[in-house]
Amino acid sequence: MSTSPLLLSGITQHTLQSERLKTAYLTTGQGPLPVVLIHGNCSSSLFFQDFMLALAETGRYTIYAPDLRGYGASETLPVDATRGVRDFSDDIASFVRALDLPSFHLLGWSLGGNVAIQYAIDYPGTLRTLMLEATGSPYGFGGTKDVIGTPVWLDYAGSGGGTANGDFVQRLADGDRGSDPTSPRTTINTFYFKPPFRAAPDREEIFVSSILAMAVAPGNYPGDTLPSENWPGSAPGAQGVNNALSPKYLNQGELANVSEKPPVLWFHGADDQIVSDTSMFDIGFLGQLGFVPGWPGAQLYPPQPMKGQIRAVLESYKEHGGTYQEFIIPECGHSPHIEQQDEAVKLCTEFIDAH
């Protein structure tokens, strides 16, 4: 058990060796219902601490928040992007088996939402509920042009490791704790949250430390890249998390066809700038704004309709016998569990207790 200065009172950190990797995880609460939380890209379980403590106050849940491979204090192993996010979802499966958890409630935030969706597809019958917080699109990040995930180019140029901001990646590698425009600190306060929201200074330092703990390497973040004759000039490689999120390898439309369909809660901020139909991280939208030169125009390469894609897949899920609820949280960016913690706790606890 770790006593890291980054841990809040009431949170404990443990390390578990599964058949796949050594996983660090946070836990709190002693209730009968297990809840597993999966963090997003460029973060770790540390982003969940206050949310975990608030859930634990109900007395009904035991909460677990693992660090994904290459993030936080977990083992760094390369990500095989050709499997989409299955390396991550298989890791979660081995984690819950090692803990010998019964059927459980699963929440995924951002990238964690894609991991949670993949888990639901590959391990049917093990979930009580599936909660998606600001989840990524089931058709990945970048490179698609409509709600059914049609690729813009056959090589999926405009998605994958080559779309990461090179200066941000270098600042991660350098351990930058400053406040320059592309620093991790500024990225959190500009894009993870809706300005002018800002976490308390001690929490902000935890969040910055969390991001800086991730593995910056071609096999992890952001991933390798291939040259392309198509705009913007790069296509996804075969390793690393950003390539795992490329629609070349990630297509989760099959969620609608899973044999066992847990009820789904999808909640997201109205002002999310990361997962959005006008995402500040989507190459199509950045091209439209003039930030990436040579944009071929909206008819050929429109902004990716991320939220429209999520909604279309969940509607198909409903048509095939599943159920879902959607909640849009006003005055909120990409991190409802931090920016609007009380609302996020209320949504999740009421959803869990109803199922």
Q: Is the pLDDT of residue 3 over 70?
A: no
What's the gap between Cα 110 and its chain centre? 3
Beta bridge partners of 34: 62
Q: In the prediction, which pLDDT does 2 show?
A: 58
pLDDT above 90 (res 1): no
Domain ranges of the chain: 12-354
On average, the pLDDT of the chain sits at 97
For residue 205, the tally of other CB atoms under 10 A from its CB is: 15
Q: Given this model, what pLDDT does residue 4 score?
A: 82
Q: What value does the mean pLDDT take over residues 33-48?
A: 98
The whole-number average pLDDT for the span 199-206 is: 98
* DSSP string covering 273-328: SSSSTT-TT-HHHHHHTTSSTT---TTTSPPP-HHHHHHHHHHHHHHTT--EEEEE
- Write down the residue that tokens 């405009």 correspond to: 158
% the chain with pLDDT above 90: 98
pLDDT digit string (tens) for 220-258? 999 999 999 999 999 999 999 999 999 999 999 999 999
pLDDT of residue 223: 96
| pLDDT tier at 118, thresholds 50, 70, 90 | very high
Position 218 scores a pLDDT of: 85
pLDDT tens, position by position, 59-78: 999 999 999 999 999 999 99
DSSP H helical ranges for the chain: 49-56, 86-99, 111-122, 166-174, 184-187, 201-212, 241-244, 283-288, 306-319, 336-339, 341-354
Q: Name the CATH superfamily for 12-354.
A: Alpha/Beta hydrolase fold, catalytic domain (3.40.50.1820)
pLDDT in tens, 302-350: 999 999 999 999 999 999 999 999 999 999 999 999 999 999 999 999 9
Give the residue-averaged pLDDT of 258-272.
Answer: 97
Mean pLDDT in residue range 186-193: 98
